[in-house]
Amino acid sequence: MKYLLVVLALAGAALSSEVRFQFIENHIYVPVSVNGQERLWVFDTGAGASVIDAAFAQELDLKTVGEVQAMGASGTVPAKFVEVPGFVLGDINQGEQTMVALDIATLLRGRSGIEVAGILGFDFVSQFVTRVDFANATLTFTRPDEFEYQGTGHELAMIFANNIPAVEFAVEDSLGGLWRLDLGAAVSVFHHPAVAAHNLTDRPGVELLAGGIGGLALNRIVRFASAELAGYRLERPLVMVPLEPGPGALANGRYMGTLGSSVLYNFILTMDYPGSRVFVEPNENFGQRFPFDRSGLQLERAESGGVSVRYVSPGTPAAESGLAAGDEVVAVDGQAVEEIGGLVQVRDLLRDEPGTSRGVLVRRGEKEREFEITLRDLFD
């Protein structure tokens, strides 16, 4: 894949630019302006190229300059190259460049309820030393020639393949090796070859549908005993195990897995792309339990704009109550979904403390039914 030379400038004489981000459903969203239109974009080290939503590109009347097969976690899809006339992020003014145009708005709207216009990938991130502070929700971009690390963290080498960095990481000591460093992955996940080699499908956990570009597949979220990144030990991390072999990025046997937010939110990462290294230091989140659903309901944004049930994990409170895939959620605890705020806010209610009861009113066919769910920790 080839890219046009891009031009960037930090406003004035600034040596770095700090941008606040929104951490929603375990993804980093930043405000990016193209042709004066500011929209939310995903910041993603797992994207080998920057992506603009196809509908947004059409709205901006951007020129198509080629075609490509874009690879996601679960497979490949056809896409186009378009010329983007530059964009602005904080104090950074990016020059004209080529991006991949994909229908990502529909995909991410259904998963998160967020309206997304693009993904900032390798061609952007690689120009900076970028400090990612999950606890304070800030990204700091520094000119590489002005960078000097001042923190107390440990240094790891970053190894690149197809424009995506990888680092050494281990789960339970025996499951160590290279893992892709992917800030666009909501949950850390083993790759298919590692699953087969280590019989990981035998591990108990919670089943769910997960994926991205290329489709969805059945997976299991498992709480492992421990993990270690850059010498820092985490107790009982959540890591996803694919239950079905398939194509896409997760079929890459060079890596043990993909390292995502369920581990990385414990740290401050200072990624020096030009120096092929990352500095890792614990943040205020370190050692805290990663917030996860306690109901067993996988929800998505329905085409109508409401909230519907995509999947019900077996053996969970939602399954035991009788809720089913396809149910449309009308209200929770007597409050309409619209009043609650939508998909993200409904999910937050289902992450509440164990023992909390929630009344979920759904529409199934022509009838409405109410189910009671008593939340519990699904991994203890």
Q: What is the pLDDT of residue 68?
A: 66
Q: Which helix (H) or strand (E) holds 124?
A: helix 122-125
Tell which of 90, 117, 142 closes a domain: 142
149 occurs within a structural domain: no
The model's pTM: 0.89
The phi, psi pair for 202, rounded to 5°, reads -80, -10
Same structural domain for residues 254 and 162? yes
Residues in the chain: 380
Q: What is the pLDDT of residue 8?
A: 47
Q: Would you say residue 28 has pLDDT above 90?
A: yes
* Mean pLDDT calculated for residue range 57-81: 76
CB-based contacts of 346, cutoff 8 Å, min separation 6: 299, 307, 329, 332, 337, 340
The whole-chain average pLDDT of the chain stands at 90
CB-based contacts of 303, cutoff 8 Å, min separation 6: none
CB-based contacts of 135, cutoff 8 Å, min separation 6: 268, 283, 284, 285
Q: What is the pLDDT of residue 216?
A: 80
291 occurs within a structural domain: no
Q: What is the pLDDT of residue 5?
A: 37
287 occurs within a structural domain: no
- Paired with 80 in beta bridges are 67, 101
Structure tokens at 209: 């549908």
Q: What is the pLDDT of residue 12?
A: 38
The helix/strand/coil state of 194 is helix
Say how many C-beta atoms besides its own lie within 10 A of residue 162's C-beta: 12
* Mean pLDDT calculated for residue range 331-336: 96
3 occurs within a structural domain: no
288 occurs within a structural domain: no
Q: What is the pLDDT of residue 368?
A: 96
Q: What is the pLDDT of residue 6?
A: 39
Same structural domain for residues 231 and 328? no
355 occurs within a structural domain: yes
Rounded to an integer, what distance in angstroms lies between the CA atom of residue 344 and that of residue 378?
A: 20
248 occurs within a structural domain: yes
Q: Would you say residue 214 has pLDDT above 70?
A: no
Tell which of 282, 308, 329 closes a domain: 282
User: Could you read off the pLDDT of 236-245 as tens digits, one per residue?
Assistant: 999 999 998 8
CB neighbour class for 293 (10 Å; exposed up to 12, middle 13-18, buried from 19): buried
Lowest-pLDDT range, 1-5, 62-66, 316-320? Answer: 1-5
Same structural domain for residues 104 and 160? no
Q: What is the pLDDT of residue 15?
A: 65
Q: Would you say residue 74 has pLDDT above 70?
A: no
User: In this structure, are residues 339 and 302 in contact, taking their beta carbons and an 8 Å threshold?
Assistant: no
Q: What is the number of domains present in the chain?
A: 3
Same structural domain for residues 222 and 312? no
Percent pLDDT > 70 in the chain is 92
Q: Would you say residue 58 has pLDDT above 90?
A: yes
* Mean pLDDT calculated for residue range 173-193: 95
pLDDT band at 224 (very low <50, low <70, confident <90, very high): very high
Same structural domain for residues 49 and 123? yes
User: In this structure, are residues 244 and 129 in contact, taking their beta carbons and an 8 Å threshold?
Assistant: no
The helix/strand/coil state of 144 is helix
Same structural domain for residues 218 and 306? no
Per the structure, the complete domain to which residue 104 belongs is given by 8-142
User: Could you read off the pLDDT of 278-296 as tens digits, one per residue?
Assistant: 999 999 989 888 779 999 9
Same structural domain for residues 267 and 306? no
Q: What is the CATH number of the domain that holds 365?
A: 2.30.42.10
Same structural domain for residues 174 and 276? yes
Q: What is the pLDDT of residue 112?
A: 78
Q: Would you say residue 106 has pLDDT above 60?
A: yes
366 occurs within a structural domain: yes
Percent pLDDT > 90 in the chain is 77
Same structural domain for residues 207 and 277? yes
Tell which of 79, 113, 142 closes a domain: 142
State how far the alpha carbon of 336 is from the alpha carbons of 309, 321, 368, in Å: 16, 20, 13
pLDDT band at 13 (very low <50, low <70, confident <90, very high): very low
Q: What is the pLDDT of residue 212?
A: 64
CB neighbour class for 18 (10 Å; exposed up to 12, middle 13-18, buried from 19): middle
User: Could you read off the pLDDT of 292-307 as tens digits, one per residue?
Assistant: 999 999 999 887 778 9
Same structural domain for residues 259 and 344? no
Same structural domain for residues 170 and 246? yes
Same structural domain for residues 219 and 301? no
Q: What is the CATH number of the domain that holds 122?
A: 2.40.70.10
